[in-house]
């Protein structure tokens, strides 16, 4: 990961990482190289891990988009912090796409590796209890280990709501553009 680009490595304290990290500096960039064992690699066969697919809905008004940033709260950082709280080690989650600051999602697809004893039907309850009320995991199920939320997406739909009324309703202010 290159410093300046988002990665869940930057939201964690490096000294608490479960395997050694090397930091290389190239001019203005720092590159982290993790020397994780092969069994933690995405390319390695999964023996004890399950790949879980999550369908997530959120009101993005209070967030700075999907992708993790250094300080600002994002949807991905909230989900990863929640998963880390449940299983006591970092869990990276990948979404089907990124959203900008303030954008909402009805059914964002994401996936993550899960090696905890908690089954998906209990994990979804735990996640929704820990997440803020403007983020909800709607569905959570185990999928084929080759599944990838971004590369296996069949389509994406975007809805732009523009309110052309003379006065905007206070109930639609967060969910439509008024002009």
Q: Which of 100, 113, 144, 165 is catalytic?
A: 100
Whole-Å CA distances, 153 to 86, 91, 113, 135: 28, 22, 18, 21
Within 8 A by CB and 6+ apart from 18, the residues are 89
Count the neighbouring beta carbons within 10 Å of the beta carbon of residue 8.
Answer: 18
* Residue 100 appears among annotated catalytic residues: yes
* Residue 141 bridge partners (DSSP): 53
Using DSSP's 3-state secondary structure scheme, residue 112 falls into: strand
Within 8 A by CB and 6+ apart from 6, the residues are 67, 68, 69, 76
Residue 43 and residue 38: Cα distance in Å, rounded?
8
Closest to 54 in 3D by CA, of 157, 147, 129: 147
Catalytic residues, which ones?
100
């Amino acid at each position: 990961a290159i410093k300046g680009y988002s990665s869940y490595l930057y939201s964690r304290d490096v000294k608490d990482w479960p395997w050694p990290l090397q930091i290389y500096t190239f001019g203005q960039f720092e590159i982290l190289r993790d020397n994780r064992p092969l069994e933690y690699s995405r390319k390695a066969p999964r023996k004890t891990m399950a790949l879980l697919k999550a369908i997530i809905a959120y009101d993005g008004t209070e967030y700075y988009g999907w992708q993790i940033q250094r300080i600002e709260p994002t949807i991905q950082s909230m989900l990863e912090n929640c998963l880390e709280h449940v299983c006591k080690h970092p869990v990276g989650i990948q979404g089907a796409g990124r959203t900008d600051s303030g954008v909402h999602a009805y059914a964002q697809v994401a996936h993550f590796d899960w090696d905890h004893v908690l089954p998906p039907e209990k994990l979804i309850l735990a996640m929704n209890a820990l997440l803020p009320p403007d983020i909800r995991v709607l569905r959570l199920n185990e999928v084929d280990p080759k599944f990838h939320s971004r590369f296996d997406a069949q389509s994406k739909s975007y809805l732009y709501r523009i309110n052309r009324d003379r006065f905007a309703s206070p109930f639609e202010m967060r969910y439509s553009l008024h002009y």
